[in-house]
Structure 1
Amino acid sequence: MTVLDIRAYHLRLPDTARSVLVGVDLTVAAGETVALVGESGSGKSLTSRSVLGLLPDGAATAGAVRVDGEDVLAMTPDRLRRLRTGTAAMVFQDPRAAVNPLRRLGDFLTEGVRLGGRLTAAAAAERAAGMLDAVGLPASVLGRYPGQVSGGMLQRVMIAAALMGEPALLLADEPTTALDVTTQAEVVALLADLRERFGTGLLFVTHDLGLAAAISDRVYVMYAGRIVETGPAGELFDRPRHPYTAALLASTPRPDAPGGRLTAIEGRPPGLREELTGCPFAPRCPLVTDLCRRQEPALRPAGAGPGHRSACHHGDRTGEEATHAQS
């Protein structure tokens, strides 16, 4: 069963020379973890926020964003509120920015299910204690304020809050960025465990390919608001078929890497005030040709595995060649 289905989705903001998101196609099935990866500014967070209808003022959209079969772009404000407290939920990047420091965590956890009379105060408190237990925290946390718990504990509270409405879809937008490495690993393992336990579909947004490889079943790679490569996580990371994916992998620090300077992707991502012609990655690509500068490639089958697709005119070249050219 598909819990998230984004089709031909375009998003444009005021005062930009081009669309922020262009023809995005993305799906998440029940019980599946899908990673959305790319550099900062690639459009990952706007894609995830679009799923909950959290769009900037003046945003213009086209296409469809369906959650559990219902198009978010056509929802009324009342239906959107119910979506955000039931069918879908998000874990944000900075947990301390998502809570009121003057309110107890128990109030934060139970507010969504108490509003509208979905649960009584007693039933909501009981569910909150159960969700805290599911994320490895004692019920005593309900009586604490945000400043009385660590960053890792607070992110666990955020995950528990997201699960309070028993969502079919969980959106995790860079949920480990503000945490230390050890706590990052704990949160990633927790999300994987909860996905299996509750059968929730998980869209995991990150710029960290190592985390994406550790948690995801499938991966979408985004650049300049476009999906440039997608496929099963194992095949995509073992043999990338887009130079951008290969460059991201080559620039990931590894313990066994030789000494010297870290590999980096030359240039910078295009700004929103820049018109784009041809492949948006062309100015930074080591495999660029005149065709790339003239014509934007379509996302088409690549590699031997089912579901692996790449938007590259030179997708027939191996990931090893692309990586070698980048380095």
Structure 2
Amino acid sequence: MNALDIQDLRLHLPGTARPVIDGVDLTVAPGETVALVGESGSGKTLTSRSALGLLPPGATTEGRVLVDGRSVLTMDSDSLRTLRTGQAAMIFQDPRVAINPLRRIGDFLTEGVRLTGVMSAADAERRAAELLEAVGLDAQLTRRYPGQLSGGMLQRVMIAAALMGDPVLLLADEPTTALDVTSQAEVIALLGRLRQRFGTGLLFVTHDLGLAAAISDRVYVMYAGRIAETGPAATLFDRPRHPYTAALLASTPRLDAPPGRLAAIDGQPPDLRQELSGCAFAARCRLATDLCREQAPAARPAPGQPEHLAACHHGDRLEGSATDA
């Protein structure tokens, strides 16, 4: 059974002409790290938050979202509260926003499992101390306030809090964005060790392709609410089969890149206030034809690679390096 199984998810918001999330399929197996990458506004965060039932006001959904086999979209409020303190947890982008500055670290760590009855107060305190040590912090920090800790330490506290209920699924939404480079590397290494130790499935949301390549087993590339390409990390980054993936890779700064201007993707993502026909990337793609503008492509496997799928009519023309795009 998968830690997360999203099937044909569609999410509509008031005032939009098309779904914000449009037919997404995504899975995370136990102990697996899956990266969800794409530009800002592509739908990455909404997709990850659907696993916790954290949807915007007025949102309507179609499809299925299963966490450890349980349907999230049909849960009542009590079941969702139990899910968020047990089976699934999220590591948010900015720990200083997510942690109440007026409460001690120990209160923040134990509050959820105590109030829902998952653990007694004594068990919760022991679990909090154990997890603080697991993330490389002193257990005595439970008596400190958030303002007494650095940003890197607070993000470690966030990770410990996410593990309090022994979840089968961790959702990490750009968890290193607010940190300096050294702290980023420490947090990424820590997540890798904790995944191996606890066997937790990890969905890592990021716009950093280099980071996705370093941490993930599989990658989903998202564009305009749709999955453009998915496959094993090494294969997808080495031989992309969707022009959007190739363009993202070509625009990534590299030390060995030739001198000159950094490559960029021309144009803008499609407007949510307008209907979308055909391929979502067609207006920005140099390979686009009338077929692309009229008919949305289905995800097709690469020859001999059934796990590497790309929703592109002309994926075969991208055989080669990312710089060909």
RMSD between aligned alpha carbons? 1.1
Show the counterpart of 1:75.
75
What is the Cα deviation at residue 183 of structure 1?
1.1
Query: Partner residue of 1:84?
Result: 84
Map 1:241-256 to 2 at 5 A. Answer: 241-256=241-256
Matches of 2:317 and 2:300, distance apart in 1: 14
Sequence identity percentage:
74
- Corresponding residue of 2:310: 310
Give me the whole-angstrom Cα distance separating, in 2, the residues matched to 1:196 and 1:257: 35
| Mapping 1:213-232, distance limit 5 Å | 213-232=213-232
AA at the equivalent of 2:141: V
Residue 63 of structure 2 is matched in structure 1 by 63
Shift of residue 320, structure 1, vs aligned partner: 2.9
2:9 aligned partner, one-letter code: Y
Please tell me whether the aligned partners of residues 10 and 62 of structure 2 are also in contact (alpha carbons under 8 angstroms).
Answer: yes
Question: Residues 287 and 322 of structure 1 are in contact (CA less than 8 Å); yes or no, is this contact kept in structure 2?
Answer: no
Query: Counterparts in 2 of 1:106-145, with a 5 A limit?
Result: 106-145=106-145
1:245-267 superposed Cα distances (whole Å, 9 cap, x missing partner): 00111111111112221111111
> Structure 1, residues 231-286: CA drift from partner, whole Å, max 9, x if none?
00010000000000001111111111122211111111112112211111011111
Deviations for 1:62-111, whole angstroms, at most 9, x for unmatched residues?
A: 00000011110010110000000000000011111101111111100010
What secondary structure does 2:31 align onto? coil
Which runs of structure 2 are paired with 1:93-112 in the superposition (5 Å)? 93-112=93-112
- Indicate the residue corresponding to 2:323 in structure 1: 323
Q: Secondary structure at the match of 1:42?
A: coil
In 2, Cα distance between equivalents of 1:235 and 1:41: 26
Structure 2 partner of 1:14: 14
Which residue does the alignment assign to 1:170? 170
Q: TM-score, normalised by structure 2?
A: 0.98
Q: What is the identity, as a one-letter code, of the residue corresponding to 2:242?
A: H
Q: Distance in 2 between matches of 1:169 and 1:175?
A: 15
Specify the code of the residue in structure 1 equivalent to 2:260: G
- Whether the 8 Å contact between 1:303 and 1:309 is mirrored in structure 2 is no
Match of 1:191 in 2: 191
* Cα distance in 2, alignment partners of residues 123 and 23 from structure 1: 42
- Residue-by-residue CA offset, 1:122-165 (whole Å, 9 max, x unaligned): 22111101000110000121111111111111000000000000
Q: Kindly tell me: are residues 212 and 165 of structure 1, through their superposed partners in 2, closer, same or farther at Cα, counting changes over 3 Å?
A: same
1:301 counterpart letter in structure 2? P
Q: Which amino acid aligns with 1:9?
A: L
8 Å CA contact 1:242, 1:319 repeated in 2 = no
CA distance in 2, matches of 1:159, 1:321: 36
Quote the Cα distance in structure 2 between the aligned partners of 1:122 and 1:177: 34
Asked if the contact 1:243–1:285 (Cα under 8 Å) also holds between the matched residues in 2, the reply is: yes
Secondary structure in structure 2 of the residue aligned to 1:6: strand
User: Does structure 1 conserve the Cα–Cα contact (< 8 Å) formed by 2:82 and 2:116?
Assistant: no
Q: Count residues in correspondence.
A: 325
In structure 1, the gaps of 5 or more residues are none
Query: CA, structure 1 residues 138+14, in 2 after alignment: closer, same or farther (shift >3 Å)?
Result: same
Contact preservation (8 Å) 1:86, 1:166 = yes
Partner of 2:34: 34
* 1:209 alignment counterpart: 209
Shift of 1:321: 6.6
Name 2:263's counterpart in structure 1: 263
Q: Tell me the SS of whatever aligns to 1:45.
A: helix
Q: State how far apart, in whole Å, the 2-side matches of 1:139 and 1:167 are.
A: 21
Instruction: Extract unaligned runs of 5+ from structure 2.
Output: none
1:164-220 per-position Cα deviation (integer Å, ceiling 9, x unaligned)? 000000000110111111111111111111000000000000000011000100000
> By how many angstroms is 1:318 displaced?
2.7
Superposition TM-score, scaled by structure 1 size: 0.97
8 A Cα contact 1:170 1:203, kept in partner: yes
Distance 1:59 1:221 in 2: 23
Distance 1:152 1:311 in 2: 38
Matched, 1:298 2:292: no
